[in-house]
Structure 1
């Protein structure tokens, strides 16, 4: 093991002739908010169910907290899960829902623990409103409270913002960040990369059951940054000209012939003009700009083409 509290190796799940997850490898370190991004049907829920102990893999290995685990292993109890439906009792209040769960856990000081959880997720323990009258955001926060009932080390959330309005999304996002500040490790799946990027510190892209890419937040943002890519005969000759004539200071030398310009006050034609006028031949120049969502779609389309 390598310091990861969750590590999966070649994890595969097959239902009859359909392989839903194919040889997935990933490591999750304590304190991370690990984002699992994939289109609907990519295998996200199945992968999370295997990590959380709700589904046994067809093949592969799961290591939790430096221990290899099998079916019905005790280490799965250190996971709090909200996958698909939170399973709320619609005719009971939030407190009553949590009380039933606390009884099943055998908790002694149930009332104190329940009120602490409700306060944590922004709900009122004295509110007698039935859950069936809650907004989607309130139901989702109550579902997270239920997942936290056993004081887990890891919280697994499958599409927690799906179907929420902007206020509900904001509430759940704030809650996730607050929980992470306490040191909790969180795995969160979504098909909306732009929203996931507001909380996650690391990402895995899942496509057709395969993990095709893993990036840190910094690596992902670097791939989506705005820049002008310039290819010239010799970058060392171009740099002083750009600095002197166009006041370009924010750049990166990629190779002897390529440099990236990050200054936003210049345009492609200005760079081309000043370089040519000063004897530097420009082989190519283009502006690189894409949103996180565009990057995700580009990666999954490329993989889709390779599967065809």
Structure 2
């Protein structure tokens, strides 16, 4: 995964006196699923609209496939976009919705392409029911099919599971993973952060229009990984004991008095026992596991304090 599909450099969008997105920098590589995390009004939709060509940035640059996007509408045609509610014709079937749009796009061999898309998103091309009778999940599936018309390289989804029941969430999640396996690069925003953690390979935390952190799945897992947080008088005195007596090698020295131990086979009582036997005072010790929501709230709250 080395091909840079999209690069944004200093991307900013202002609406009169309000800055929706400020100096955003990001590289998106082929095959990634990039999760955009932020509260309501954080700038997620505006960011996705700029990347998808629906909104012009106030300043900054967009690069697609290592070329500047300015004046190159063909780049945006290689993207499938589903932002907010899908624009569907309510009084015709799913097939007719796609057929009308395919004709507008000038696509050849429409029937085969539509059959394939409906099968891909789990809808029946023979179903003549009008879209206005569809469930929320079925509309989302059809909206994704619309975004996939023209075989894009990048799929942009803004809150695709918002308002869905648990079964609908599972179905959309599976669909996104299947599309990614088939080769699509995907950008997705969601308020359901634990659900996003099941599919994203990279995370962007945005707050008040600014990127406050960009991290990989592995980095996030490490930060939210279960650990024993150990507070001692001197970390440098405790570490040789932990290594020698308990064979602990996976740890992190946070500061001169704090050590994080990442070893699911080690129990708190073992650490207390060996350190006590060596006369090393323990100030505190506790098991800790942080959820994605907790991590997100901590990061955005600290960023909010800096803005105040």
Give the TM interval when normalised to the shorter protein: over 0.9
Aligned to 2:52: 52
Aligned to 2:184: 184
Match runs of 1:49-128 below 5 Å: 49-71=49-71, 73-128=73-128
Matched residue of 2:219: which SS? helix
Aligned to 1:305: 305
Aligned to 1:136: 136
1:33 partnered with 2:33: yes
1:252 partnered with 2:255: no
Q: Show structure 2 runs of 5+ residues with no match.
A: none
Matched residue of 1:7: which SS? strand
- Give deviations 1:193-230, integer Å, cap 9, x for gaps: 21111110000001101110001001001111111122
* Contact 2:242 2:271 survives alignment (8 Å): no
- Give deviations 1:236-255, integer Å, cap 9, x for gaps: 43225641xxxx65732537
* Contact 1:241 1:278 survives alignment (8 Å): no
Choose 149-158 or 62-71, whichever is displaced more: 62-71
* Contact 2:52 2:81 survives alignment (8 Å): yes
TM-score for both structures, normalised by structure 2: 0.92
Matched residue of 2:163: which SS? coil
> Per the alignment, do residues 286 and 100 of structure 1 end up closer, same or farther by CA in structure 2, a change over 3 Å counting?
same
> C-alpha displacement at 1:183, in angstroms?
1.2
Q: Show structure 1 runs of 5+ residues with no match.
A: none
Matched residue of 2:124: which SS? coil
Instruction: Measure the CA separation in 2 of the matches of 1:11 and 1:188.
Output: 18
Instruction: Measure the CA separation in 2 of the matches of 1:150 and 1:7.
Output: 22
Instruction: Measure the CA separation in 1 of the matches of 2:268 and 2:249.
Output: 15
TM-score for both structures, normalised by structure 1: 0.92
> C-alpha displacement at 1:272, in angstroms?
2.8
User: CA-atom RMSD, angstroms?
Assistant: 2.0
* Contact 2:238 2:280 survives alignment (8 Å): no
Instruction: Measure the CA separation in 1 of the matches of 2:258 and 2:238.
Output: 6
Aligned to 2:43: 43
Matched residue of 1:172: which SS? helix
> C-alpha displacement at 1:282, in angstroms?
3.0
Matched residue of 1:254: which SS? strand
* Contact 2:155 2:187 survives alignment (8 Å): yes
